[in-house]
């Protein structure tokens, strides 16, 4: 990784730290292991006391059941479209504003920033009804854009905050050099600065993706057509009062989580790559 | 900050405010009250909302819709299923604000009164010449749950009523006769104490949620203790009586001593069902539909231990019921067709009942031999039932108050006497506000 | 929040012109449109609702400050404000502090670091409702946690994590911290990744131990990331809803009900939109006041 060959920690602290991390990891994935193991259980094993970690009689029936029931595949496709769309809208808009807030001294920028920041604490239920009316007037009630645009807006300042910090942190010499070259602000942004804030961009993207993926109230309220439901809404079909069969819920949950794991694994190299660590030095 | 910025901001704010006002007018003014009056002829498209029937019942619903479309040429039905009861309300509210309502919607007696009081759903009296003839087709108890202020607002779809579901193995271990389940609440409490004593697990779960046919505060007060919830004129709470206090005292003692399961304090219906499935409690009081869930979630050996019996007799004489109803929103363009569809759909419940033990709203359907075929169906059909909750627009708030006050009595923060008095004070305030 | 104001003094004229020009606003247009149309505009409606008795269904009438007066007398509302404060305070402190040393250990190359990094992030990827329901089962009186605690002899009787008023709110806090920990770890690791390796080398040459390196180099240099974490944790905790909805429904006896949940309950269960809107306004003002005081204090101390 970083070509560090010698150990940074002496043996005793190393062991203590590893024990702490090991226990934390156990706590972190304990419930998830339980979920995965439940997804392979047949109906009777779910309630065994004490719970079995490895199912005595593992089965794939739960997966085949939920995969064919209630349009799970359609829900997944919708969730992917919605989450990717939201990330694109959110991050591109936020990058522009973050660039403006971080690198320009236009009038009202501080107020704009604080005003936007304060919108983030408005509890969603408080604005849900008027928001519905707005989206309805735009004719987006049965359109995935009806989820993408409001969700992008509601998570916008998260990315704005992250990217503003990132642009603020870039050295001034960069833009001075660019201006001497006669480069326009647009080119400065796209050719010089954006490549340098890949890590914050990836942070925003991953956060927004995760938030959008598990949002369930708004997609449920705004979508009327079953073929437009997202996976978090679809999950509710399996979790509601009359149908909460845990071996099915667990299987859907695993299916619903896998894409987010993949996104994380794909994006993580942007946080941790040496290239990045190197480039921001200069 | 320079003054010029501040002025800009002010201008912006005023602009936003003005825009808000304009849109607010839309919300305030243009949403309700207008009955769309296009004639019920020509091609008609209906939108139909159900609650949580997609998982498991899709073939039934789609088949029934297809048959209807074939029978009534020119009518198409678009089906939307909402995942859970809780969310129906949010979705419906948003839809009504935005003027995007369905034509037929599945409701429960918990939200119907509010929609009736605000005039956002049709009084069915206005849609048919003889409402009494229609009413005659349905079980009177079910129909009555939709009658508010002398007008009928809902077509009963299907319902259920609590029964006693118990674990025979635990009964045997506690030295109780599994063939003779408790028949009244004194016996329930005695059996629960025995189970606790002999087996170490709790005697029963009675949760305080608003899932009507499970245990809930109205069943405890009105069904079990036999006290009326409201005064005769409907303006005051009437449940803070010595009988109710005595009954609640036993619940509080049960939670404290452990023969009533702790899950009863803050859990929901399905939490109680889970405790039963785990073999950690002796009895629950749920509708027989829970058998389907138990069967799906326990192995065959465990499932055999569960038996259904009649709901223990209470002083109120009937068990609290649970009902799904159909209402027709005012904004429906084809209300008469919508009502026709609702009545049609209610007549198809036999198919649903064959998959899960529920009661049909229609008398003619209930006569089917299927409803005598199994013990759990018999329990359902024979049970006296009543909707104890007031048909008041603020029923949700009334319920929340009882739940909270009961909790404080269970936890020992308040004596049952204080808890009931405080709940009654809440009710008097909420009822007076006339929401 | 640092401003690049001072640094521009010696800049060339042409660049200053660009920086002070309207280019900034031009870049801001899409974001302002988005937030204005889909957050602020509905929020202004909410503000207007708060002066009415709007029930979500029928035309409302103005009641002036009636809803606010009712809030003043509503003990449940006061309780929810306190709970919001408690949840937000605890969640923010825990989520800002706990991942810091972990990020340091992982960054400095503890063995198996990639494994730990991934394990600790995994809770983030499971949809919130699912993980919350899983926790509800684990925390149950008959659940796994109590089973383990009793088996290990830590407690004689099961602890009622969700039905004991003392524990309920802490259970909610615990589940939030469990779920979101990975996000903050990620933020810190991303921050550390941009930190030049020379700092650590210099510290090692100075003979500084890990504690000193951590306290005198990592924490000050990660200030940006720490502030970012605080802001994100704060706003997210203030809006906590899903966990309460699934775990406790705000009970028992309102012990775990926060204002966001109460707003939802008032509006969508009780049809009191005017009332819920007034709560949102009060909450927003309270938080703004807190933020401004916090900023003032931060400025004074720096």
Position A70 confidence tier, pLDDT thresholds 50, 70, 90: low
Angle at B220 between CA C243 and CA B179, to 5 degrees: 105
Residue C23 near chain A (CB below 8 Å): yes
Task: Tell how many helices (H) and how many strands (E) occur in chain B.
Answer: 20, 13
> SS in 3 state form for chain C?
CCCCCHHHCCCCHHHHHHHHCCHHHHHHHHHHHHHHHHHHHHHHHHHHHCCECCCCCCCCCECCCHHHHHHHHCHHHHHHHHHHHHHHHHHHHHHHHCHHHHHHHHHCCCCCHHHHHHHHHHHHHCCHHHHHHHHHHHHCCCCHHHHHHHHCCCCCCCCCCCCCHHHHHHHHHHHHHHHHHHHHHHHHHHHHHCCCCHHHHHHHHCCCCHHHHHHHHHHHHCHHHHHHHHHHHHHHHHCCCHHHHHHCCCCCCCCCCCHHHHHHHHHHHCCCHHHHHHHHHHHHHHHHHHHHHHHHHHHHHC
Inter-residue contact A157 to C76 (CB < 8 Å): no
Which has more pLDDT, A70 or B78?
A: B78
A window 240-269, beta carbon within 8 A of B: 240-247
pLDDT digits 0-9 by tens, B49-80? 998 888 778 899 999 999 999 999 899 999 98
Q: Tell me the ipTM for this assembly.
A: 0.83
With an 8 Å Cβ cutoff, are B20 and C48 in contact? Answer: yes
Most confident option among A35-39, A115-119, A195-199, A261-265: A35-39
CB neighbour list of residue B137: distance below 8 Å, 6 or more residues apart? B343, B362, B363, B364
From A108, which residue of chain B is nearest by alpha-carbon distance?
A: B5
B205 shares its domain with B303: yes
For residue B273, count other CB atoms closer than 10 A to its CB: 25
B229 shares its domain with B341: no
From B280, which residue of chain A is nearest by alpha-carbon distance?
A: A49
With an 8 Å Cβ cutoff, are B20 and C253 in contact? Answer: no
Confidence at residue A241, expressed as pLDDT on a 0 to 100 scale? 63
Indicate if the pLDDT at residue B38 is higher than 50: no
Most confident option among A126-140, B11-25, B39-53: A126-140
Residue C59 near chain B (CB below 8 Å): yes
B368 shares its domain with B407: no
Residue B305 near chain C (CB below 8 Å): no
The string over B77-104, giving b where at least 16 C-beta atoms fall within 10 Å of a residue's C-beta and e elsewhere, is bebbbbbbbbbbbbbbbbbbbbebbbbb
Confidence at residue B434, expressed as pLDDT on a 0 to 100 scale? 64
B250 shares its domain with B110: no
When CB atoms are compared, the residue of A165, A172, A210 closest to C228 is: A165
Position B267 confidence tier, pLDDT thresholds 50, 70, 90: confident
Q: How far is B402 from chain C (nearest CA, A)?
A: 10
Nearest-angstrom CA–CA distance, A76 and A255: 9
B186 shares its domain with B49: no
For CA atoms B80, B83, B85, B87, the dihedral sign is: negative
Segments of chain A assigned to CATH 1.10.3720.10: 65-279
CATH code given to domain C67-301: 1.10.3720.10
Confidence at residue A44, expressed as pLDDT on a 0 to 100 scale? 67
Mutate to test the interface with C, among B83, B170, B266 (most CBs of C within 10 A): B266
The answer as to whether B20 is a domain residue is no
| Whole-structure pTM value | 0.88
Inter-residue contact B93 to C276 (CB < 8 Å): no
Considering chain A, what is the average pLDDT of its residues?
82
For residue B310, the domain's CATH number is: 3.40.190.10
Residue range(s) defining the domain that contains residue B294: 164-320+390-433
CB neighbour list of residue C247: distance below 8 Å, 6 or more residues apart? C132, C135, C136, C139, C162, C168, C171, C172, C175, C256
Strand, coil or helix: B65: helix
B305 shares its domain with B343: no
Position A242 confidence tier, pLDDT thresholds 50, 70, 90: low
Q: Number of Cβ pairs closer than 8 Å across B and C?
A: 115
Residue C271 near chain B (CB below 8 Å): yes
Confidence at residue C4, expressed as pLDDT on a 0 to 100 scale? 46
pLDDT digits 0-9 by tens, A158-214? 899 889 888 888 887 777 777 777 777 777 788 778 888 888 888 888 889 988 988
Residue of C290, C298, C281 lying closest to C85 (CA atoms) = C290
B280 shares its domain with B402: yes
Indicate if the pLDDT at residue A110 is higher than 50: yes
Indicate if the pLDDT at residue A132 is higher than 80: yes
B312 shares its domain with B338: no
Indicate if the pLDDT at residue B18 is higher than 60: no
Which has more pLDDT, A66 or B98?
A: A66
With an 8 Å Cβ cutoff, are A125 and C119 in contact? Answer: no
pLDDT digits 0-9 by tens, C20-46? 667 788 888 999 999 999 999 999 999
Indicate if the pLDDT at residue B32 is higher than 90: no
Which has more pLDDT, B281 or A8?
A: B281
pLDDT digits 0-9 by tens, A13-38? 889 999 999 999 999 998 898 888 88
Contact residues on chain B for C253, CB-CB shorter than 8 A: 404, 407-408, 411, 413
Inter-residue contact B359 to B380 (CB < 8 Å): yes
Over the Cα atoms of chain C, what is R_g?
24
Lowest mean pLDDT among A60-69, B85-94, B358-367: B85-94
Inter-residue contact A206 to A267 (CB < 8 Å): yes
pLDDT digits 0-9 by tens, B307-348? 999 999 999 888 888 889 999 999 899 999 999 999 999 999
Confidence at residue B239, expressed as pLDDT on a 0 to 100 scale? 94
Confidence at residue B27, expressed as pLDDT on a 0 to 100 scale? 44
Confidence at residue A152, expressed as pLDDT on a 0 to 100 scale? 94
CA distances from B362 to A41, B142, B241, B254, B371 (A): 40, 9, 37, 40, 12
The answer as to whether B29 is a domain residue is no
B48 shares its domain with B145: yes
Residue A218 near chain B (CB below 8 Å): no
Position A7 confidence tier, pLDDT thresholds 50, 70, 90: low
Residue C155 near chain A (CB below 8 Å): no
Angle at B34 between CA B32 and CA B35, to 5 degrees: 120
B328 shares its domain with B299: no
Mutate to test the interface with A, among C25, C39, C106, C204 (most CBs of A within 10 A): C39
With an 8 Å Cβ cutoff, are B274 and C254 in contact? Answer: no
Mutate to test the interface with A, among C28, C40, C181, C232 (most CBs of A within 10 A): C28
Q: How far is B265 from chain C (nearest CA, A)?
A: 6
Contact residues on chain A for B23, CB-CB shorter than 8 A: 130, 133-134, 137
Residues of chain C with pLDDT under 50: 1-12
pLDDT digits 0-9 by tens, B354-403? 888 888 989 899 888 988 888 888 888 888 888 888 889 998 899 889 99
Q: How far is A81 from chain C (nearest CA, A)?
A: 17
Confidence at residue A282, expressed as pLDDT on a 0 to 100 scale? 28
Position A274 confidence tier, pLDDT thresholds 50, 70, 90: very low
Considering chain B, what is the average pLDDT of its residues?
85
Which has more pLDDT, B428 or B54?
A: B428
The answer as to whether B68 is a domain residue is yes
A window 149-208, beta carbon within 8 A of C: 149-150, 152-154, 156-158, 160-162, 165, 168-169, 172, 175-176, 179-180, 185, 189, 199-200, 202-203, 206-207
Residue B120 near chain C (CB below 8 Å): yes
Q: What percent of chain B clears pLDDT 90, i.e. is strictly above it?
A: 52
With an 8 Å Cβ cutoff, are B90 and A245 in contact? Answer: no
With an 8 Å Cβ cutoff, are A243 and B52 in contact? Answer: yes
pLDDT digits 0-9 by tens, A84-104? 999 999 999 999 999 888 888
With an 8 Å Cβ cutoff, are C110 and A156 in contact? Answer: no
When CB atoms are compared, the residue of B29, B261, B408 closest to C253 is: B408
CA distances from A85 to A145, A170, A198, A208, C74 (A): 8, 28, 19, 10, 42
Mean pLDDT of B110-135: 92
Nearest-angstrom CA–CA distance, A194 and A173: 15
Residue B53 near chain C (CB below 8 Å): no
With an 8 Å Cβ cutoff, are C178 and A27 in contact? Answer: yes
Choose which CATH entry (3.20.20.70, 3.90.230.10, 1.10.3720.10, 3.40.50.880) describes domain A65-279: 1.10.3720.10
């Amino acid at each position: 990784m970083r070509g560090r060959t010698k150990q940074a920690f002496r043996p005793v602290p190393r062991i203590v730290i590893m024990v702490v991390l090991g226990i934390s990891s156990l706590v972190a994935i304990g419930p998830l292991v339980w979920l995965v193991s439940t997804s392979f259980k047949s109906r009777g094993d779910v309630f065994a006391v004490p719970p079995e970690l490895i199912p005595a009689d593992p089965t794939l029936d739960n997966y085949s059941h939920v995969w064919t029931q209630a349009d799970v595949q359609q829900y997944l496709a919708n969730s992917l479209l919605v989450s990717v769309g939201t990330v694109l809208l959110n991050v591109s808009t936020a990058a522009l504003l973050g660039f403006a807030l971080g690198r320009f001294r236009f009038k009202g920028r501080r107020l704009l920033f604080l005003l936007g920041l304060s919108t983030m604490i408005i509890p969603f239920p408080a604005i849900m009804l008027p928001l519905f009316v707005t989206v309805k007037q735009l004719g987006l009630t049965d359109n995935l854009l009806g989820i993408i645009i409001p969700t992008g807006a509601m998570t916008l300042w998260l990315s704005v905050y992250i990217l503003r910090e990132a642009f603020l942190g870039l050295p001034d010499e960069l833009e001075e050099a660019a201006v001497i070259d006669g480069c326009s602000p647009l080119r400065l942004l796209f050719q010089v600065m954006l490549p340098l804030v890949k890590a914050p961009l990836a942070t925003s993207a991953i956060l927004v993706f995760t938030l959008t993926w598990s949002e369930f109230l708004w997609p449920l309220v705004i979508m009327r057509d079953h073929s437009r439901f997202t996976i978090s809404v679809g999950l509710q079909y399996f979790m509601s009062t009359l149908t909460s069969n845990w071996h099915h819920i667990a299987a859907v949950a695993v299916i619903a989580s896998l894409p987010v794991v993949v996104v994380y694994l794909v994006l993580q190299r942007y946080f941790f790559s040496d290239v990045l660590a190197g480039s921001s030095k200069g | 900050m320079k003054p010029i910025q501040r002025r800009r901001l002010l201008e912006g704010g005023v602009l936003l405010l003005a825009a808000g006002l304009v849109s607010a007018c839309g919300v305030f003014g243009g949403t309700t009250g207008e009955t769309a009056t296009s004639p019920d002829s020509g091609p008609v498209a209906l939108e139909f909302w159900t609650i949580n029937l997609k998982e498991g019942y899709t073939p039934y619903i789609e088949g029934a819709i297809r048959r209807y479309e074939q029978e009534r040429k020119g009518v198409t039905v678009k089906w939307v299923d909402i995942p859970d009861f809780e969310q129906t309300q949010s979705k419906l509210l948003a839809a009504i604000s935005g003027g995007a309502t369905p034509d037929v919607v599945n409701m429960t007696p918990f939200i119907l009164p509010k929609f009736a009081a605000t005039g956002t759903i049709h009084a069915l009296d206005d849609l048919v010449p003889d409402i009494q003839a229609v009413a005659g087709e349905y079980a009177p108890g079910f129909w009555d749950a939709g009658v508010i202020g002398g007008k009928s607002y809902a077509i009963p779809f299907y319902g259920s009523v609590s029964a006693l579901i118990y674990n025979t193995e635990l009964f045997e271990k506690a030295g109780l006769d599994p063939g003779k389940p408790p028949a009244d609440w004194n016996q329930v409490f005695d059996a629960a104490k025995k189970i606790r004593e002999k087996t170490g697990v709790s005697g029963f779960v009675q949760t305080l949620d608003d899932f009507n046919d499970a245990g809930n505060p109205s069943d405890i007060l009105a069904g079990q203790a036999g006290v009326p919830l409201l005064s005769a004129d409907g303006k005051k709470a009437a449940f803070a009586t010595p009988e109710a206090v005595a009954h609640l005292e036993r619940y509080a003692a049960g939670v404290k001593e452990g023969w009533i399961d702790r899950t009863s304090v803050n859990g929901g219906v399905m939490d109680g069902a889970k405790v039963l499935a785990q073999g950690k409690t002796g009895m629950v009081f749920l509708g027989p539909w829970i058998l389907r869930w138990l069967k799906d979630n326990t192995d065959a050996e465990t499932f055999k231990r569960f038996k259904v019996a009649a709901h223990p007799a209470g002083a109120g004489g009937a068990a609290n019921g649970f009902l799904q109803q159909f209402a027709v929103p005012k904004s429906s363009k084809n209300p008469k067709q919508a009502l026709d569809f609702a009545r049609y759909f209610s007549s198809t419940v036999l198919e649903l009942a064959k998959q899960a033990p529920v009661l049909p709203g229609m008398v003619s359907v209930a006569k089917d031999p299927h409803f005598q075929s199994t013990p759990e169906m018999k329990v359902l059909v024979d049970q006296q039932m009543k909707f104890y909750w007031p048909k008041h627009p603020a029923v949700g708030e009334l319920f929340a108050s009882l739940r909270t006050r009961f909790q404080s009595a269970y936890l020992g923060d308040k004596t049952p006497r204080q808890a009931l008095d405080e709940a009654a004070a809440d009710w008097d305030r909420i009822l007076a506000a006339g929401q | 929040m640092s401003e690049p104001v001072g640094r521009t003094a010696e800049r060339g004229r042409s660049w200053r012109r660009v920086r002070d020009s309207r280019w900034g606003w031009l870049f801001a247009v899409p974001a302002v449109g988005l937030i204005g149309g889909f957050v602020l505009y509905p929020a202004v409606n909410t503000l207007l609702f708060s002066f009415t008795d709007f029930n979500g269904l029928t035309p409302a009438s103005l009641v002036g400050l009636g809803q606010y007066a009712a809030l003043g007398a509503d003990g449940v509302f006061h309780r929810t404000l306190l709970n919001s404060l408690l949840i937000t305070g605890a969640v923010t402190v825990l989520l800002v502090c706990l991942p810091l040393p972990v990020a340091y250990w992982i960054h400095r190359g503890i063995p198996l670091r990639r494994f730990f990094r991934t394990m600790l992030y995994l809770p983030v990827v499971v949809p919130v409702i699912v993980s919350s329901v899983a926790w509800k089962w684990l925390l149950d009186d008959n659940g796994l946690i109590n089973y383990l605690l009793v088996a290990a002899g830590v407690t004689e009787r099961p602890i009622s994590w969700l039905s004991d008023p003392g524990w309920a709110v802490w259970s909610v806090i615990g589940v939030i911290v469990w779920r979101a920990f990975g996000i903050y770890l990620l933020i810190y690791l991303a921050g550390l990744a941009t930190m030049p390796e020379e700092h650590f080398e210099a510290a090692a040459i100075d003979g500084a131990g890990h504690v000193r390196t951590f306290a005198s180099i990592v924490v000050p240099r990660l200030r940006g990331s720490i502030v970012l974490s605080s802001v994100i944790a704060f706003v997210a905790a203030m809006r906590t809803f899903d966990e309460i909805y699934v775990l406790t429904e705000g009970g028992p006896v309102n012990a775990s009900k926060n204002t966001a949940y109460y707003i939802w309950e008032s509006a969508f269960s009780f049809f009191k939109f005017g009332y819920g809107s007034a709560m949102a306004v009060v909450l927003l003002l309270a938080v703004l006041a807190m933020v401004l005081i916090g900023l003032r204090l931060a400025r004074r101390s720096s």
